[in-house]
Amino acid sequence: MPGSRTIEIPEAVLLSAQSLDDLEDWLATHDPEFLTRMRRIRQDEDMGGQGKDLTEILKQWSTES
């Protein structure tokens, strides 16, 4: 399949993952494109003073802090 990638997940990761969220987290932290995008966002927004305070986000989402 064009453009597809094969990702090897260590057996220890598969055995220790308690949910699909755990596997998604592991995959995200090992995806170079994702990491590059997150670093760019952090550099551009967080380090540029454009980030939002967590309390503001919680209020916007109507969650309890």
Residue 53's pLDDT is: 77
| Phi, psi (deg, nearest 5) at residue 14 | -60, -40
Residue 10's pLDDT is: 93
Answering whether pTM is above 0.85, one says no
Residue 2's pLDDT is: 60
In this structure, what DSSP letter does residue 45 have? Answer: I
3-state secondary structure the chain: CCCCCCCCCCHHHHHHCCCHHHHHHHHHHCCHHHHHHHHHHHHHHHCCCCCCCHHHHHHHCCCCC
Residue 1's pLDDT is: 52
pLDDT in tens, 3-53: 667 888 999 999 999 999 999 999 998 989 889 988 888 787 766 666 677
CA dist 15 and 19 (Å) reads 10
Contact criterion met (CB below 8 Å) for 35 and 43: no
More confident residue, 64 or 31: 31
